Each structure stands twice: as C-alpha cells, then as structure tokens.
Chains A and B, each alone.
Chain A
Amino acid sequence: MPLLDVRDLVVRYGTVTAVDHVSFALEPGETLALNGPSGCGKSTTALAVLQIRRPASGEVRFEGQELTTLTEAELRPLRPHMQPVFQDPYGSLSPRHRIRDAVAEPLKVQGRWDTDSGPARVADLLDRVGLDPSYGDRRPHELSGGQCQRAGIARALASDPRLLVLDEPVSALDPSVRAGVLNLLADLQDELGLGYLFICHDRSVVRHFADRVIEMRDGRVSSP
C-alpha cells in the first residue's frame, strides 16, 4: 500500500483552477519531487495533500485512508503523521517562542507531553537534527537560517510523522548550509523510513535528492 496516493486532485481558488487533475503515489521511504516554475500549483498540491487547503475534487489517501471526506475532527488524529516543513525557516517558527518550546508544542497540543520525560525528548530531537540542545534556550532570530530550518525539522519530527511535506525546504539557504540540511533529511529518511513529498524549483537539487520527479506546469502534470 502506498504511503500517499493522490488521484485526480483538483484545487480551485475561486474561479482559478490551481491544481488540475494531478495524480501520483508515494511509497514509504521514497522521495517524490514536485518540480515546476512559480505558480505551477506545486505548493497548492502540498497544501491539499495536508488537507490544509481542501480540494474541489479528487482523492487523497494516506496509508489507505481517504482524507478528503473526513471532517476536521476526524482528521485531527491523522495530522501528526503528515507534517509540513516550509521554506522560510524564520517565518515558520514563532519569533517569541524559544526553540525548545517550539519543538515541544506539537507534543503538548497532541496531549503527549510528559513533564518528566518531555524535556529529554526535546533535547533528543534537537540532537537528532544536529543542533546542540543548548540551542533550545534560544529564539529563532538567534539562529542562522540553517539552524532554524533544523529546528523546524525537529518540530516536525516531534509528532512521529511518516510523511514529511517539504515545501522548498532548502531554497532560502546558502549552498554549504543547504548541503548539510539535505544530508540530514537523507539520514532521517534512511533511519525512520519517512516518505518525502519534496517541493523544489531547483533542478540540480531535485536531480540529486529525489527518487522520482513530477514536473508540473499550469496546474497539470507535464511529465510523469
């Protein structure tokens, strides 16, 4: 069974069809890239997979379960297993929260926070993404872009996801920093068997990192 199975996905913004009958499947441990120019619908596809933007029609199956027909309440227990990582490492973390609290927040929201073991779990997560746990005391502006992106990945991992939806996760980073974050993502995938839906406009990164690539243009798949 594929981890993610998307069929005939259609997403509309008003009268504009942003995603037009897009289909793909993703296996556990696999990286599928969505590549294409600005406005081709790749980020909207990501939002629809996560059911942040509800599609107009089509199917999104996560581990065999159809998501498009579920209510918000029915989706809630599934959401931890499919986590987003966004492009702007600063914009995706609250500037007012310490890194430690940002990473702990999903655990608290999901009712999985244990006051005894929680802090150690957060320190583990930070260590896992290559951040010294002392960074937990800092706020996002005290971190470099690469460190911030690692914190965002730690936060996504806190939910024990099986799918990461990575929307341009390295596009804002310098080349040497980008290499480190891509290596981290590769390691996490090897160890945890995560499936990656990897949205990226940089062809050299896509060629290097993805197992398969779907090219999109004007909301459609232009090459499988």
Chain B
Amino acid sequence: MASEPLLSVRDLRIAFDGVEVVRGLSFDLHPREVLAIVGESGAGKSLTARALLGMLPHGATATGTVRPDLSAERGRRIALVPQDALSALSPVHPVGDQLAAAVRSVARVPRKEARARAVAALDRVGIPDAARRARAYPHEFSGGMRQRAVIAMATINEPDVLVADEPTTALDEERRDQVLRVLAEQREAVGAALVLVTHDLDVVREHADRALVMYAGRLTELGPADEVLTRPLAPYTAGLLASLPEHARDRRLPTLPGTPPAPGTLPPGCAFAPRCPLAADDCHHEEPEPRPAEGRLTACHHWAELPHPAVELFRDQQHASS
C-alpha cells in the first residue's frame, strides 16, 4: 500500500516475568484498512492488540515501538470494541449516559449536546427508538443490541483506529454477521482502520483486507487476506486452513500434529518446526525472520517448497492429539 501508515509497530516484545509471549513483532496499519490478526489461543494476538491500546494486563512488560503512540488518546483516536458487551458496560448507568460520558471524556461538550450525540450514535447502529432506549440500562438490552451499543460507543468520537478483540466469538452465526455488518458500516462512516483479532477464518475471509498470522508470539505470514487464505505461503497457515471442516475430503479432518509450545519452552530454531512436515535441519537451528515473498511477508525457510494446494501438506497428518 502506498499510503503513509497510520501506525507502525516495530520489534514489539511483551513479556511476563521475563518470559516473552510476543517475540519481536513488526507491522504497519494503513488508514481505513481492516487488518486481521489471526492465530490460536496463546499466539499473542490479543496482547498485541492490547499493546496498541496501552491496555496490557498487570505484570506485562513491553518493549519496542508503536508510532505514533495513540494509547494516550484512547477513546478519541483509538478505541476498543470489546468482546463481552455486558461486562464492558456499567450495569448501574443508562446506556445513553455511558455514551455521553464517552463524548465528554475527550472533549468539552455541553451535557445536552453529548446526550444528543449519544442518541444519534445509538440510532446509527440501528437501535430502534434510540431516544427512549438511551435511558434504558444494559440489562434491558438484548445481547445483539448491547453489542451494537458498544460499537456505537467505540465509534462515537470518530477514532482513526478501532481495535476489536474477538468481537463475535460468543455469538451465533446470524448475530455474528449482524454485528460485523454494523461494525463495518460504522468503521466506514468514521473512516477508521480496524485491527480485528480473531481465530475465525470465515470472519477474516469476509471482512479483512490483510491478514497477519501469528504463531508462538511471532509473525508467520502477513499479506492480502484472500491470498493468505487461498494460497498460504507458511506451513502453519496451511495447517490451520487444512483443519477447517469445509476443506475435509472425508470424515477425518487433517490436523496439526502436536501442540503449540508453551511460552518459555520454545524449541530452538523455528517455533513451528516440531509440528511442520516441511521442517529441515536449518529450521531446527535458525528462527526464520519475516521476508518478502510474492508480495507478502512470510517467516519460513522453505515457503517455496510448499505444495499446491498447500493444505495437501497436512492431508496425511491425521493422528495428532491436541
């Protein structure tokens, strides 16, 4: 992309008690793009997103740079769309008051105007009779309406960057699509970029411009989402895709052998090597750095040797435990 990046992350490392969980991650976020951070539990994707927001959990230490650092302007230039709308909203204040408070937290706006903006924001996300519903408490909203309300709250100050951490994990398909549609509409309306943390590859396919695949705290592959998902260049991405039921040829699904390494117990060399059918000697000695490959970045010594389609690599890998 030719545009000047909105955010540049360089060599981000996040550690707990000296054990690195995110291990030197670099990427750019471009204006108005949707960047999905994909990976499985423990890959470091949520921590990466939280680092952008300056919301790392207690006990985490981060090094590296995020430029510009928007975390001081959280709520105004960068905002979180939380996963659990019920716990993100205060149970003891009307929803409209909470949105108005979000407006007044970043700008000197008269109460009345903040309230009017709150009602307008609820109306924009499709909450019927918004003026009346603004006076209701979160428990009086349905789950879908609450999710819309937190999207309204995240976008009310027209931030440059939205960060959504697994925004639809707890929802069924129908509500998932609805919430993502509202999120996409609001994102476009305010012109924000979106960092979308998810393990749902269907969501990535339908909603992301680019996908950053993470494994064991590192970048595995970064490129246009449709290319990454249709023609992965990293064996780990191929393994993830192979394990999807829609790619199954018979009842048994291909699986990745073994389990991801626990933080602090990384194998030497490439963290994925012990599970990788392509792994050779060099993989066990030297951790691959992300390098340009076919217009993307991939961190694999042997990406050029991947079969096509790459999911074939895992077809005979069916006897793993998780």
Contact = CB atoms under 8 A, between A and B. Distances in A.
Interface of A: 36-38, 130-131, 144-147, 150, 173-183, 186, 201-205, 207-209
A181 B252 CA distance: 10
Given A179-B245, A183-B318, 7 more contacts: A37-B173, A173-B322, A176-B243, A177-B322, A180-B321, A204-B246, A209-B245
Contact of A38 (B40, B171, B256, B259): B171
Contacts of A209: 245, 251
B253 A208 contact: yes
Given A186-B252, A209-B245, A181 B322 contact: yes
A175 B243 contact: yes
Given A208-B246, A209-B245, A183 B171 contact: no
Interface in B90-149: 143
A178 B243 CA distance: 8
Highest count of chain B CB atoms <10 Å: which of A131, A174, A203, A205? A174
5 contacts: A176-B239, A180-B320, A180-B321, A183-B318, A204-B244
A203 B248 contact: no
Given A37-B174, A174-B40, A186 B251 contact: yes
Given A37-B175, A38-B175, A176 B321 contact: no
B227 to A, nearest CB: 19
A150 B321 CA distance: 9
Given A201-B172, A201-B173, A208-B253, A147 B322 contact: yes
A144 B175 contact: no
Interface of B: 40-41, 143, 171-175, 199, 201-202, 239-240, 243-246, 248, 251-256, 259, 318, 320-322
A205 B245 contact: yes
B172 A176 contact: no
A145 B42 CA distance: 11
Contacts of B199: 174-175
Contact of B143 (A38, A145, A207): A38
Nearest to A131: B321
A145 B260 CA distance: 12
A188 B318 CA distance: 15
Contacts of A182: 245, 253
A175 B173 contact: no
B194 to A, nearest CB: 22
A191 to B, nearest CB: 13
B239 A174 contact: no
Nearest to B256: A176
A71 B259 CA distance: 46
A130 B321 CA distance: 6
Contacts of A38: 143, 171-172, 175
The 8 closest A-B pairs by CB, nearest first: A146-B322, A208-B245, A179-B243, A174-B40, A179-B253, A130-B321, A180-B322, A177-B322
A38 B256 CA distance: 31
B40 A183 contact: no
A221 to B, nearest CB: 17
Contacts of B246: 204, 207-208
Contact of A175 (B175, B244, B259, B320): B244
A131 B173 CA distance: 32
A182 B250 CA distance: 12
A37 B172 contact: yes
Contacts of B255: 176, 179-180, 183
Contacts of B248: 208
Contact of B173 (A150, A174, A181, A203): A203
A188 to B, nearest CB: 12
Nearest to A147: B322
A176 B321 CA distance: 10
Given A183-B252, A203-B173, A208-B253, A144 B41 contact: yes
Contacts of A207: 245-246
A131 B255 CA distance: 16
A204 B245 contact: yes
Most buried by B among A36, A38, A130, A202: A38
